[in-house]
Amino acid sequence: MILLQQSRKILATFLLIGVLMITTACGSTSTMSQVNRSTTPSTIGRDVTYAELERGNTPGGQTFGNWVVQASQGLVQDAFVRDNNKLGVVISPKVRPNEVRPLAKSLVQGFHKNFPKQDLKVLIYAPDKQLILTTEYDTQTNQVKYT
């Protein structure tokens, strides 16, 4: 029974990685890549909820943050994007420790597709909101660094 559960979790992780890679490769990036980095919402309407505000401090960031949570199929509980170059995600308890790094790599690849030409940082938080992994993408070297 435990083997079946572990297999299912591993399969779900690889499925998420595949979905993130395919969706970002095939998706339209024109609206997100054209967003000005310095643009912040000047006013917050009454119809914007707190959760929506926290997903991103730019329209493109908010859209990407919402997409990450929806596309993750329960592996990501929450996500936020700041200044179109920093993505923070809170993973669910379903994600095993050995699945965190592949998930972070997939997220940084998708993040780079949507926000090209800038150094990026992906912060992975445990379900208890403790930082467990930082992934940095350097555009000059095209290298991913884990800390």
16-28 tens-digit pLDDT: 676 555 655 555 4
| Other beta carbons less than 10 A from residue 110's beta carbon | 25
Could you tell me whether strands 120-125 and 86-91 are parallel, antiparallel, or unpaired per DSSP bridges?
parallel
55-109 tens-digit pLDDT: 888 888 999 999 999 999 899 999 999 998 999 999 999 999 999 999 999 999 9
Phi-psi region of 141 (alpha: psi -120 to 50; beta: other; left: phi over 0): alpha
The residue among 36 and 118 whose pLDDT is bigger is 118
Taking 50 as the threshold, does the pLDDT of residue 136 lie above it? yes
The residue among 29 and 63 whose pLDDT is bigger is 63
In the prediction, which pLDDT does 22 show?
A: 61
20-50 burial code (b ≥16 CB/10 A, e <16): beeebeeeeeeebeebeeeeeeeeeeeeeee
pLDDT confidence band for 9 (50 / 70 / 90) = confident
Does this model's pTM top 0.75? no
77-86 tens-digit pLDDT: 999 999 989 9
